[in-house]
C-alpha cells in the first residue's frame, strides 16, 4: 500500500475567514432589519447565523480531518469533514423553517417598511462580503478537495442569491407600496434554502457511504492502467472509493508467472506513481499475482 496523507492543517485558515465573514454579515444584516423592519432582511440575518454555526463546525472538523493516521484510524480522519457538511445542511433546513414561519406571519399581518434605501445599502454590502469569501472558499475547496470548504462556499453563495432576492423584494415594496411582496419573497428565499440544505446533506451522506469515484475519474484511472497492460500484463478487481479529501484505489495486477519479484515490484511502483500523478490525495493498494493463479476469465477484458 502506498499512503498519501499530506498535512492539510492549513485549510483551517479558510474556515476562520468564513467565521469572520459570518460575524460581519450578521451585524450588517441585523442592522438592516432593525432599520427597515423587513422580514426578508430578517430571514437573511437568520441564515447568516446558520453560516456562523456551519463555519465553526467546519473549523472543528477540518482540525480533526488534518490529524495523521493512528492505530485506531489507519486510513486517517478525512471523513470528519462529512459531519460538518451534514450539520450545516441540517441547520440550513431549520433556518428555512424559521424564515417560512416569520414570512407567513408577516403575510397575514403586513407591516410598513422604514428607511428602505439605507437598509438595502447595508444588505448589499453584506452580500458583497459573502460573495468575495465564497469565491475564495470555493476555489480552495476545489483545489484541495475539501468537501467542508465547498459546502461552506455553496452555502455562502446561496446567501448571496438570497440577499439579491430580498433586495429585490424590498425594492418592489418601495416602488409598488404592496407590503405583502416582502414576505412572499421571504417564502421564496426559504424554498431556495431548503433545496441547498437537502443537496448538502445528500452529498455528505453519499460520501459516508463510500461511493465510488466519479465516472470521469474512473475513466482516467482506467486509461492510466491500460498504458501498462502489455507483455502479458493484466489487471482485475479494480475498486475505488472516496473518503473526505482522500481517494482509495485497489486492484490486482496479473503478470506472467516467470517474472521475477523485482520486475513485478517495479511495475507496481510505476503504476502507483502514475495513479498518484493523476489523482492527488490517493491511497493505492496493489496486489501482484501470476496469471496461473487468477480465476478463469477474470482478466479477459484488461489487456
pLDDT tens readout for residues 140-185: 888 887 878 887 888 788 778 777 777 777 777 777 877 777 778 7
Same domain, 196 and 258: no
1, part of any domain? no
> Is the same domain home to 90 and 221?
no
pLDDT bin (cut points 50, 70, 90) of residue 62 is confident
For residue 300, the model assigns a pLDDT of: 41
Whole-number pLDDT of residue 114: 58
Which of 154, 178, 208 represents a domain boundary (last residue)?
208
Residue 202 lies in a domain: yes
282 and 189 share one domain: no
Residue 67 has pLDDT above 60, yes or no: yes
Could you tell me which residues come within 8 angstroms of residue 212 by beta carbon, excluding any fewer than 6 positions away? 218, 239, 240, 241, 242
More confident residue, 155 or 10: 10
The closest of 50, 189, 26, 52 to 122, measured between CA atoms, is 26
Query: Does the residue 298 lie in any domain?
Result: no
29 and 169 inside one domain: yes
Q: Final residue of a domain: which of 158, 179, 208?
A: 208
Do 135 and 156 lie in a common domain?
A: yes
Residue 28 lies in a domain: yes
Verify that 160 and 232 share a domain, yes or no.
no
In a domain, 277, yes or no: yes
- Sheet strands (E) in the chain: 234-243, 246-255, 282-290
Q: 153, 178, 208 — which closes off a domain?
A: 208
Chain segment 211-243, per-residue pLDDT in tens: 888 889 999 999 999 999 888 899 999 999 887
| CATH number of the domain encompassing residue 68 | 1.20.1510.10
Q: How many folded domains does the chain comprise?
A: 2
| 25 shares its domain with 122 | yes
Residue-wise pLDDT for 91-124, tens only, equals 778 777 877 887 787 778 776 665 567 767 877 8
Q: Is residue 302 part of a domain?
A: no
**What number of residues does the chain have?**
303
Do the domain assignments include residue 39? yes
Residue 300 resides in a domain:
no
- Comparing CA positions, the residue from 14, 50, 33 lying closest to residue 106 is 33
CATH number, position 240: 3.30.70.1350
How far apart are the C-alpha atoms of 224 and 98, rounded to whole Å?
A: 51
> Whole-model pTM?
0.65
Indicate whether 35 and 88 sit together in one domain. yes
Are residue 174 and residue 274 in the same domain, yes or no?
no
Task: Output the nine-digit C-alpha cell for 10.
Answer: 492549513
Q: Which residues contact 113 (CB under 8 A, 6 or more apart)?
A: 36, 37, 38, 119, 170, 173, 174, 179, 182
CA separation for the pair 290, 42 (Å, rounded):
68
Whether 139 and 202 share a structural domain: yes
Domain span at residue 224 reads 215-293
Amino acid at each position: 500500500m502506498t499512503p498519501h496523507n499530506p498535512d492539510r492543517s492549513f485549510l483551517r485558515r479558510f474556515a476562520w475567514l468564513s467565521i469572520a465573514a459570518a460575524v460581519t454579515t450578521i451585524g450588517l444584516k441585523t442592522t438592516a432589519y432593525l432599520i427597515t423592519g423587513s422580514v426578508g432582511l430578517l430571514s437573511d440575518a437568520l441564515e447568516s447565523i446558520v453560516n456562523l454555526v456551519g463555519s465553526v463546525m467546519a473549523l472543528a472538523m477540518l482540525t480533526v480531518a488534518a490529524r495523521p493516521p493512528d492505530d485506531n484510524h489507519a486510513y486517517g480522519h478525512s471523513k470528519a469533514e462529512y459531519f460538518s457538511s451534514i450539520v450545516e445542511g441540517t441547520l440550513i433546513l431549520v433556518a428555512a423553517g424559521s424564515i417560512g414561519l416569520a414570512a407567513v406571519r408577516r403575510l397575514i399581518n403586513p407591516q410598513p417598511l422604514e428607511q428602505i434605501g439605507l437598509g438595502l445599502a447595508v444588505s448589499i454590502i453584506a452580500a458583497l462580503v459573502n460573495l468575495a469569501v465564497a469565491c475564495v472558499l470555493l476555489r480552495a475547496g476545489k483545489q484541495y478537495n475539501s468537501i467542508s470548504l465547498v459546502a461552506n462556499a455553496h452555502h455562502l453563495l446561496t446567501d448571496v442569491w438570497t440577499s439579491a432576492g430580498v433586495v429585490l423584494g424590498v425594492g418592489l415594496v418601495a416602488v409598488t407600496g404592496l407590503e405583502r411582496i416582502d414576505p412572499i419573497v421571504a417564502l421564496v428565499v426559504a424554498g431556495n434554502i431548503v433545496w441547498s440544505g437537502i443537496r448538502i446533506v445528500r452529498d455528505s451522506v453519499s460520501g459516508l457511504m463510500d461511493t465510488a469515484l466519479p465516472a470521469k475519474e474512473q475513466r482516467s484511472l482506467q486509461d492510466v492502467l491500460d498504458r501498462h497492460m502489455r507483455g502479458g500484463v493484466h489487471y482485475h478487481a479494480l475498486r475505488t472509493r472516496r473518503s473526505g479529501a482522500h481517494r482509495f484505489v485497489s486492484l490486482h495486477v496479473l503478470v506472467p508467472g516467470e517474472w521475477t519479484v523485482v520486475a513485478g515490484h517495479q511495475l507496481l511502483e510505476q503504476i502507483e506513481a502514475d495513479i498518484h500523478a493523476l489523482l492527488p490525495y490517493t491511497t493505492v493498494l496493489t496486489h501482484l499475482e501470476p496469471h496461473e493463479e487468477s480465476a478463469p476469465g477474470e482478466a479477459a477484458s484488461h489487456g
